[in-house]
Structure 1
């Protein structure tokens, strides 16, 4: 058996093992909360029983949002790390999430009180503004960096600019809208409904479909631009399309849940380590991202209750940020040693 065939088989087995973990995270989110529901009550609630309101209305949309957002951010990170050939490349670090945050916060803070979108903001909406902001940040980073070696450094600078813009928007906005925006910026799944979930699932499905035509070119680019061009790949074209998909995925996911930190960095790296591949495997990255956010929201929602500290909840962005920060330090130290 060749090395490539062994890695493909290893990736297949890892994906098979990860799929029930995604389902387990989903079911655990339906069962655990202020009131713990047994398997029979969860199934009954899904089928329209007496717990239908708790299961179908309160918990299922939030759990589905976590799975969808984690999958979208992980896929965006896997694409970015592949086309840039850098394990530090992710929507958080290269400026995509920052640009999406600027667009979304601009709409939230200037959209009127009580969460309504009014005036000219009604023509844009938070999701479209987030996608536009992420795309603009991606374009800016690409134009300034020009080469993949400088993308991360330029992305850090653009992210800092976006954070400054977000701070200014919070200061300029109405106090109530600024408070809503500040809550959104923590990356929370609280109160999510199907209107938040469906756009993420739709974009995720369309991007996965588009990537079926890019699997081979991305594999070639992972070997280097010169090798890819020698094999007939239009490197610049593939890279621009890939970065556009990254911006759309990260923008829609950020609009749905806020900037959930470090999922796009950690999930592809974990998937790559599980398979030993030369680049992050896309489908396995999607599964790992879904598990990270689904499990992270479950922990954040129930952690204080498990320790008897009351009904306090942590936004999922804080949980993933804490885990991702530790991983980022580990990755930087490892690269410095090598």
Structure 2
């Protein structure tokens, strides 16, 4: 498993470099590697490091954050459909961000901070609302929010949030509405270092917390009775880890817009490739990065025109969602 993880990290770096070569004019891969190692002319360094590298780095960070967020929620809720975009967390973050984008806001670093804070607030409030609405007693008489209840309520809340997003866009000016609509497609065209920084910090913090909580996550997969015997405080640990998932997904959404299905698919692909009993944290982050960077390359090479990366991930993720639903239905039928 370690060798596969290292190979995935190397593949992410290779695709990262290939993503930098892609653009209005092709840059040879050797020249990109030369500049990244400290060489190249001043003009080459400007084009690669200042113009193209922020977009490629944003793709890696956003994909990794979404993959990690999906792995945490799916692992805790024991449901492969329990990803931030399915639960409505991404829509909550999007509503907060669109409220800033749709009103024009400000420019530069202040705009990036405002969008990031609004997205974080929207994601956290949505998660809190879903958790409160899902709270109840299970068939065994235990209090809490079960995975299935969270998913079902999340789907309903997601529909309400989408309506709220559409309402904000209809109230915005034509220019702001166009910017918001492009952002809602999950676009990396406006990626810059200012928007990348909050997402990178969130990814580093949440990945550290998830890695340190690996034993807790493993215990939570064993069921409530076994988890209590092992001395794990279920509700507090769930709240901590799910909060980290919300932060990672919200910051990723603020950086590039709602890029759908990555948080859903990456943990499931990582689990099958790495053959782990649960959703691997680092493996899911790497596969999330692979999906977004690969989709960004495809969006500028496969299609005749540059399309938002979110459209590509939706085209790939839709069939994968159908595959998961069919697989879950077959398991339920056999059981």
Kindly indicate whether the alpha-carbon contact (under 8 Å) linking 1:222 and 1:278 is maintained by their aligned counterparts in 2: no
- Please name the residue that 1:129 is paired with: 118
**CA distance in 1 between partners of 2:196 and 2:61 (Å):** 7
Kindly indicate whether the alpha-carbon contact (under 8 Å) linking 1:301 and 1:315 is maintained by their aligned counterparts in 2: no
Please show how residues 79-118 of structure 1 align to structure 2 within 5 Å.
79-112=72-105, 116=107
Deviation at 1:104, TM superposition (A): 0.4
- Please name the residue that 2:12 is paired with: 22
Q: TM-score, normalising length from structure 2? A: 0.91
Quote the RMSD (CA, aligned, Å): 1.8
**CA distance in 2 between partners of 1:74 and 1:134 (Å):** 16
Kindly indicate whether the alpha-carbon contact (under 8 Å) linking 2:112 and 2:194 is maintained by their aligned counterparts in 1: no
- Please name the residue that 2:208 is paired with: 209
> Deviations along 1:13-57, whole A, 9 cap, x unmatched?
220120111011101011222222223322344434142232112
> Deviations along 1:230-286, whole A, 9 cap, x unmatched?
111000001101111011001100000000011100000001111222210000111
1:198 maps to 2:197: yes
Alignment counterpart, residue 25 of structure 2, candidates 13, 35, 48? 35
- Please name the residue that 1:269 is paired with: 268
Deviation at 1:107, TM superposition (A): 1.1
**CA distance in 2 between partners of 1:15 and 1:73 (Å):** 18
**CA distance in 1 between partners of 2:90 and 2:153 (Å):** 14
**CA distance in 2 between partners of 1:123 and 1:186 (Å):** 18
1:138 maps to 2:131: no
> Deviations along 1:57-85, whole A, 9 cap, x unmatched?
22111000000000000100000001101
5+ long unaligned stretches in structure 1: 1-9
**CA distance in 2 between partners of 1:122 and 1:60 (Å):** 21
**CA distance in 2 between partners of 1:111 and 1:240 (Å):** 34
Runs of 4 or more above 4 Å deviation = 121-124
Kindly indicate whether the alpha-carbon contact (under 8 Å) linking 1:303 and 1:313 is maintained by their aligned counterparts in 2: no
- Please name the residue that 1:173 is paired with: 172
Kindly indicate whether the alpha-carbon contact (under 8 Å) linking 2:211 and 2:281 is maintained by their aligned counterparts in 1: no
